Each structure stands twice: as C-alpha cells, then as structure tokens.
C-alpha cells in the first residue's frame, strides 16, 4: 500500500505549527530562503500525509509537533517520534520549485522513493551520459512533441529507484533501465516496466500533472504489485 501527497505552499505554511524543536534547529542550516521554504514545505507535506493515512497504515501518531522527520545518516527522511522511536513506515520527499511530492508505505512492504521534475528537454550529451542505449532508443520511438516528456519521466524513474534503493547517485543512473513507457492517459497514475542491474524489478508508478508541466514518479522496492491512492491535496 502506497500513499502520496502533492503539496504546494499556502498561507498556512507556518513553521511554528508543525516543526518539532529538533527540526527548528535543523532548518537553520538552510541559509537561502527559497531552499528553506522547499525544505519546510516537504516537512509539512510529509507530516500531513502521515496524519491523513495513519488509519490506513495502522499508525498511532502523536501530534505533528511531536514527530521528527530526521535526515538519516544515509540522507533519507526518517520519521521518528521526538523520543527517537522509529515510525514503521518508509517515507520519501522530493521538491521542484513550489511543489513537494511525498510518498509513504509500511516498512514491511519495502522502501519507497519519490521524484518530481519540471518537464524539460535534455541535451544529447545528457542522454548519452545518464541513459542506457535501450532508453535512448525508447525515447526515439515517441512523437517529437512527447520525446522531452518521456525523457523527463525516465529521469524521474531513475531518481526514484535510486532513492528507494537508498543509494542515490552513489550508484550509476544506468543501473536502472526503463524497458517500456506507455504515454496514453499520462495524467493518471500508470505503471512502467523497469529492471535494475541486480535483476530486481521495482514497482514504478508515474504520471504527468494536469497541465503536463511536471513529471511525478513513485518507486517501491521490493517489487510487489500494489495500488496507489492519493491521500488528498494540500
């Protein structure tokens, strides 16, 4: 079971309402106001998602100010109580401009990775450096007005899988190979066929935003076919 939330900042984005004391301290490392606002939105979205899905995930959650979304040693968001007790879920947060995408699933179902990117064209050198031969051939099969969308979705898939694997870019993006991508009905959640270098086939859910300017991807490892449902919008 995977739950997700796509959030944007609003007048209610007040750090005094939901940050715990640990997070107030951690947030001080962000000197750039825009970067801090992104981080803040991600924390607000993550706590809102946990709160709204607590029943589905069988979680007994404390109030938001008593939850600590800690940056774990390996770089990934780790949900804890302020006493340090681990909440038994896998959480991932991604930012793009004024949007934050969060995804969560129970620990026993694996780990999740989320990624959101602005749809954009990429250079030939970028494709050669970071995409497999098969992926470049796949992109060329799409109509010209869809090539940059496919390229962005594939990039998001790579990032989401590497996040779910907890390796990030310490592992080559070519270790994730997107085998197929169906563009029909792309503004609703769809699956993609992906194979990792280790032979694993993670679950991949992807979609475009309603205006097709953003690509959203959620990956889960190990691969177990599951439904994905929006918790709500912020």
User: Region 84-107: what's the mean pLDDT?
Assistant: 94
Higher pLDDT, 143 or 59: 143
> For residue 201, is pLDDT > 90?
no
In the structure, what pLDDT confidence band is assigned to residue 230 with cuts at 50, 70 and 90?
A: low
| Per-residue pLDDT reduced to its tens digit, 41-89 | 999 999 999 999 999 888 889 999 999 999 988 889 999 999 999 999 9
Name the least confident of 68-77, 115-124, 156-165: 68-77
Exposure of 224 in the CB half-sphere (CA atoms within 13 A): 12
Q: pLDDT at position 231, please? A: 63
Domains and CATH numbers, the chain: 2-91 (3.90.470.20), 113-230 (3.90.470.20)
> Of 13-17, 31-35, 72-76, 221-225, which range is least confident?
221-225
Q: What is the DSSP string of 42-109?
A: HHHHHHHHHHHHTTTTT-----GGGEEEEE-TTSSEEEEETT-PBPSEEEEEEEETTEEEEEEEEGGG
Q: What is the mean pLDDT of the chain?
A: 90
pLDDT of 232 higher than 60: no
Taking the C-alpha atoms of residue 217 and residue 161, their distance in angstroms, rounded to an integer, is 9
C-alpha distances in angstroms, 3 versus 10, 129, 167, 175?
22, 33, 22, 26
Over residues 121-146, the mean pLDDT reads 95
Residues 162-182, mean pLDDT to the nearest whole number: 91
Evaluate if residue 233 carries a pLDDT over 50.
Answer: no
Spatial contact of 63 and 19, defined as CB atoms under 8 Å apart: no
Closest Cα partner for 86 from 58, 105, 65, 107? 107
177 vs 204: CA distance, rounded Å: 12
Mean pLDDT of 173-201: 91
CB 67 within 8 A of CB 47: yes
Q: Please answer whether residues 217 and 114 qualify as being in contact, where contact means their C-beta atoms are separated by less than 8 angstroms.
A: yes
Average pLDDT over residues 109-136: 96
What per-residue confidence (pLDDT) applies to 90? 95
């Amino acid at each position: 079971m995977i739950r997700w939330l796509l959030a944007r900042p609003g007048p209610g984005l007040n750090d005094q309402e939901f940050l715990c004391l640990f997070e107030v301290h951690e947030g001080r490392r962000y000197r750039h106001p825009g970067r801090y606002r992104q981080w803040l939105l991600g924390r607000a979205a993550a706590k809102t998602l946990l709160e709204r899905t607590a029943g589905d995930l069988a979680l007994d959650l404390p109030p938001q100010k008593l939850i600590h979304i800690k940056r774990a040693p390996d770089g990934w968001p780790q949900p804890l109580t302020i006493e340090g007790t681990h909440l038994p879920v896998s959480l991932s947060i991604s930012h793009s401009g004024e949007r934050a995408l969060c995804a969560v699933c129970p620990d026993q179902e694996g780990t999740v990775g989320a990624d959101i990117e602005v749809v954009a064209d990429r250079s030939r050198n970028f494709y050669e450096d970071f995409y497999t031969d098969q992926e470049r051939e796949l992109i060329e099969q799409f109509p010209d007005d869809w090539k940059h969308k496919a390229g962005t979705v594939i990039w998001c898939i790579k990032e989401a899988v590497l996040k779910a694997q907890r390796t990030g870019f310490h592992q080559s993006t070519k270790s994730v190979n997107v085998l197929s991508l169906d563009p029909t009905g792309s503004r609703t959640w769809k699956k993609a066929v992906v194979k990792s270098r280790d032979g694993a086939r993670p679950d991949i859910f992807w979609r475009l935003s309603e205006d097709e300017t953003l690509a959203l991807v959620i990956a889960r490892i190990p691969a177990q076919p599951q439904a994905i449902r929006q918790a709500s919008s912020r």
